[in-house]
A and B are shown apart, each in its own frame.
Chain A
């Protein structure tokens, strides 16, 4: 029920709603619950509302960590901590 999906804001309208992209499909999104939405931001969308901005730096750092863990595992599977 608390399912929420990352989408990219493509357009912000005067009434505070926006249009977001989800894999090439345009979706209307209410932006009233987040501070300072900008076109290009990724937002976490639940029930038609952006409930938070996605922190791309955090996401990229975590993915980099996963890549590091995977690389270390491939090199020496039994020594990885």
Chain B
């Protein structure tokens, strides 16, 4: 793939690794460990897949954060989708959501029992489904972070323009900066720097990270998702820490402009407003989600079907909450690779391809692969 492969296999990996090692030595006078949080699930997966944690200098830890939208979606949301499917509604969804356990069942199980659940690569597919069957209600499961929000919110515009009246959204959009604030507010976690998500940043731009660097003294480095991008980003973070600096640095300029994408942000602003949101493992965070504005209530599945999405019930003993916050490693959960596996997951971190537990199961488990 053009502009992908070149950032994957390269003779630059060895010198970047050596540079990491030298920066690690420069940091060796610091007490305790250096904790870098990678926020994004795509970084989590790439770090596991390419074994990047093994390349880190001693005492430098890369901790996975709450950046997998599927993983932070509460079981009550899945329950609501299953409830709608039970009422004869077609559920259109990104594939990641299928296996996510609700309080007692998943969408995949509902589908096996006869519910109409359609997997969509693009939200535009939901519009086609609705247009093809005007007598049947279609609900799109509108989850995601900044990267995904504008493409999904565009559905409202398309539905209005094409006069498709049987399509609505079950909205559980979430924003990354409030999650970072929650991570820093947690006394059990001591995060020294953030490896910031490249594609979220392509939308938001660099400004949203400024308070973390300026006011909290945490280096924030935006990096791409190929191994060299991540190594380069980690070098950027360690260099800042070694120099005693904390700044926002964009090392993924080929895809993320410093100003972000104003067109996508205008779409978000037009259809959505900030609201409190429930994060699995974290709880309710104020202004951490986006919901449809009142004038678009007709497209809001909760209002349209008189539904209230609750928190739901998590599987007893599931530690996804701690894993999402970076408090525990997947292998520290007693269910990991025993009761909970990718084939039969009980928690969302094992379901999502980008969940910490799935990444760890696939690539980091002793005897795995």
Interaction A to B? yes
Task: Please indicate the chain A residues that have their CB under 8 angstroms from the CB of B7 in the complex.
Answer: 62-63
Contact A48 B121 (CB under 8 A): yes
Judging by beta carbons under 8 Å apart, are B123 and A22 in contact?
Answer: no
Are B261's CB and A51's CB within 8 A? Answer: yes
Residue from the list B124, B145, B261 in contact with A1, Cβ < 8 A: B145
Can you name the residue of chain A whose Cβ is closest to the Cβ of B199? A2
Closest 9 pairs between A and B when the two form their complex, measured CB to CB: A48-B122, A73-B15, A66-B12, A70-B11, A49-B151, A59-B254, A2-B147, A58-B254, A6-B3
Tell me if B18 and A80 are in contact (CB < 8 A): yes
B28 within 8 A of A: no
Q: Closest B-chain residue to A55, C-beta based?
A: B254
Q: How many residues of A contact B (CB 8 A)?
A: 39
Can you identify 10 A-B contacts, CB atoms within 8 angstroms?
A: A4-B202, A5-B1, A44-B199, A44-B202, A46-B147, A47-B151, A48-B122, A63-B6, A67-B12, A81-B22
Could you say which of B11, B40, B121, B124 contacts A2, with CB atoms under 8 Å apart?
A: B40
How many whole Å from B230's CB to the nearest CB in chain A? 13
Q: Which chain B residues have a beta carbon within 8 Å of chain A's beta carbons?
A: 1-4, 6-7, 10-12, 14-16, 18-19, 22, 40-42, 68-70, 94, 96, 121-125, 144-145, 147-148, 150-152, 154, 197, 199-200, 202-203, 225, 228, 253-257, 261, 263-264, 267, 352, 354
What is the bound-complex CA distance between A55 and B258, given in angstroms? 12
With a CB–CB cut-off of 8 A, which chain A residues contact B121?
Answer: 47-48
CB distance from A41 to the nearest CB of B (A): 12
